[in-house]
Amino acid sequence: MNEHIFDQQLQRYRNDLAVILKSLQDVTLMIGNKELTDWVSELRVRTTDPFMFVVVGEVKAGKSSFINALLKREVCKVAPDPCTDTVQQIVYGEKESVQVINEHLKKIMLPVDILQELAIVDTPGTNNVTIKEHQEITEHFIPHSDLIIFVFPCINPYQQSAWKFLSYIHTEWHKKVIFILQQADLLKLNPEGLDINRNNVVREAQKRGIENPQTFCVSAKDELEQRVDESGFDDIRSYIQENITGSNAVILKLKNGIETANHIIEQIQKGLQLRAAQLEVDQAFRLEVKQLLEQREIHSINEVDRVIEYTLEGYHKVALTLEQEMDTQLGFFSLLGRSVMTLPLLNKLTTKKSFSAWFEDFKDRLQQELTNVLQERLNSGIFDVAHNVQQMVAQIELKIQVNQKNPLINNDSVFTHIAERRGNILNDLKEHFAIFVKNDSNMQPITDNNPLWNMVAVLATGGGIAATGGLLAALTQGIWLDITGGLVVAVGLVLVGGGAQWSKHKVLANYRETVKKTSEQLKQRIQEQLKPYIHNLKFDVEKHFLKFDAYLANEAKDVEQLRIQQQQSKQALNKLNDELKKDYPTIVLG
């Protein structure tokens, strides 16, 4: 394979990776996670940058001396004050210069040939890194590094903070790592101790999933003092020359770019799985509310029918008793006897009431007995309807509270903003629904002067049970007058023409017809008051979920679109990675 074809292949792979990263960046923009978007954006930019080392280790491990020796000049301060140290990015420049990026980062440009292919990042000690410095390292350099150089002092390579940071680098970002045991000159007289420490580093690295740890023992002191045969830097430079310069650097950067992009996709995929699971939970919750509303609506309508049946049963029972009394009192001899009682002399000799007195008493009792039975039965039946409504509202309120306390997506950093949006929507739903439940004005009648509606509304909100009697009294005043008025008119036919005994059957027939008619009116009045209330209550409850329903619809759409896009990016990365492995199977680092 000639060099021209070789370069063309690498350029094609670079272009392919750039296209995949652009698609991945579009995914992160759709997600709305700025940190992910910044990572992918910087990864795109760094794809064509020089190969980047990030040098890490504890304070006084010899990091700065190692870099100075590698570059054969003093670039980094040795043993700086760890409290004021900064991250130093060392890159190629035609002239030596220093650019301060911020208080925790500066860029050093040097006219050193090796820096045309390599960039080096010197970091503060892992055991003294401040939060800001750590953020600078982990956000801007670790995700985009091509190789992590872990520097340990050869005398004591067992610092826990350094190994903890290594676990983060390798587990979280799957970065390639090599190990430098610096200050080897301190163990010149104890080569066995150096071998023991080196082997221990290998074992510790293997425990953390690094299968073949590359480990070098060097002495920056010897290198800087021209004892190059003893410094060990020839080995590290040979390793860099064989593995990291020229075309190898491009191939390794491509592989590192693929690994980093895969890591980002894995984070998105994990978050997307949680987001999809959260969506399923929320959809199930919403379905439960809908089913509960439908079931309770049917149950409440059935309750209304039972109220009507129970009330009419009492109404007909009283009406029949009064009819029987009328039948007796409208008989010939009864009417004759009551007519005689109108004579002054006989009226003084008996306690039997005149027909006129009986009739007035009958009208009063008719109205009172009907009122009593209807009040009693409606009171009992309507309370059951109201209790059913009250239970429905309480169950929905409880379901809202339970679902609000089930934030699966809160545990994911990628979709934090989605978790916040969901939390805000559920908070609004909970607060407004609580107001709806407690506020009687949300349950007003469709028409004015509707005491039955008002009574059920008060009962449904749990605050008006004590007012039932007064509300029922207001309700019965209109309905009972219509019913008893019709019956009294029918009975009044007795007074027409003085021949009432021959009109008895007509009077009773008119009475029965009026009872039937007013029975239908009573049924219709109750239906017109209660059933629309139940239907409208369901509608009022559903209105509170409009915002949540819109959220669910958007979530379902976004989750499916993100799932497809991240799968496409994943497949494209896998394809590119397979092609690289096939064409360059021997290029392996770390």
Q: What average pLDDT does the segment 539-545 reach?
A: 88
Question: What is the value of pTM for the model shown?
Answer: 0.68
In order, the DSSP letters of 11-35 are: HHHHHHHHHHHHHHHHHHHHHT-HH
Q: Are residues 360 and 460 in the same domain?
A: yes
Q: Are residues 227 and 282 in the same domain?
A: no
Q: Are residues 217 and 84 in the same domain?
A: yes
d(C-alpha 70, C-alpha 56), whole Å: 15
Residue 33 lies in a domain: no
Average pLDDT, the chain: 78
Q: Are residues 378 and 456 in the same domain?
A: yes
pLDDT tens, 396-436? 888 888 887 767 777 777 888 888 888 899 889 888 888 87
Residue 99 lies in a domain: yes
The domain that holds 75 is classified in CATH as 3.40.50.300
Residue 220 lies in a domain: yes
Q: Does residue 337 surpass a pLDDT of 70?
A: no
pLDDT tens, 453-497? 444 444 444 443 233 234 333 444 455 555 556 556 655 554 444
Residue 255 lies in a domain: no
Choice between 278 and 141, residue whose per-residue pLDDT is larger: 278
Q: Are residues 160 and 304 in the same domain?
A: no
Q: Are residues 241 and 279 in the same domain?
A: no
Q: Are residues 416 and 524 in the same domain?
A: yes
Supply the pLDDT for residue 260: 86
Supply the pLDDT for residue 454: 45
SS (H, E, C) 248-289: HHHHHHHHHHHHHHHHHHHHHHHHHHHHHHHHHHHHHHHHHH
Q: What average pLDDT does the segment 89-118 reach?
A: 87
Q: Are residues 350 and 213 in the same domain?
A: no
pLDDT tens, 26-40? 999 988 888 888 888
**pLDDT classification of 217: cutoffs 50, 70, 90:** very high
Burial per residue of 180-211, b for 16 or more beta-carbon CB atoms within 10 angstroms, e otherwise: bbbbbbbbeeeeeebeebbeebbebbeeeebe
Q: Which of the residue ranges 191-205, 309-323, 527-541 would you say has the lowest mean pLDDT?
A: 527-541
Supply the pLDDT for residue 286: 93
Q: Does residue 181 surpass a pLDDT of 90?
A: yes
Residue 44 lies in a domain: no
Supply the pLDDT for residue 136: 55
Domain count along the chain:
2
Q: Which of the residue ranges 78-82, 245-249, 291-295, 392-396 would you say has the lowest mean pLDDT?
A: 78-82
Q: Are residues 187 and 233 in the same domain?
A: yes
Supply the pLDDT for residue 392: 79
Q: Does residue 285 surpass a pLDDT of 80?
A: yes
Residue 62 lies in a domain: yes
Residue 384 lies in a domain: yes
Number of other residues whose CB lies within 10 A of the CB of residue 53: 23
State the residue range of the domain holding 440.
274-555
User: What percent of the chain clears pLDDT 90, i.e. is strictly above it?
Assistant: 23
Residue 250 lies in a domain: no
Q: Are residues 203 and 342 in the same domain?
A: no
Q: What average pLDDT does the segment 240-250 reach?
A: 79
End-to-end CA distance of the chain: 26
Supply the pLDDT for residue 66: 92
Q: Are residues 222 and 313 in the same domain?
A: no
Number of other residues whose CB lies within 10 A of the CB of residue 577: 17
**pLDDT classification of 280: cutoffs 50, 70, 90:** very high
Q: Which of the residue ranges 300-314, 382-396, 463-477 would you say has the lowest mean pLDDT?
A: 463-477
The token pair that represents 197 in the structure block: 């420490």
The domain boundary, picked from 228, 245, 262, lies at: 245
Q: Does residue 53 surpass a pLDDT of 90?
A: no
Supply the pLDDT for residue 583: 85
**pLDDT classification of 134: cutoffs 50, 70, 90:** low
Q: Are residues 239 and 279 in the same domain?
A: no
**pLDDT classification of 334: cutoffs 50, 70, 90:** low
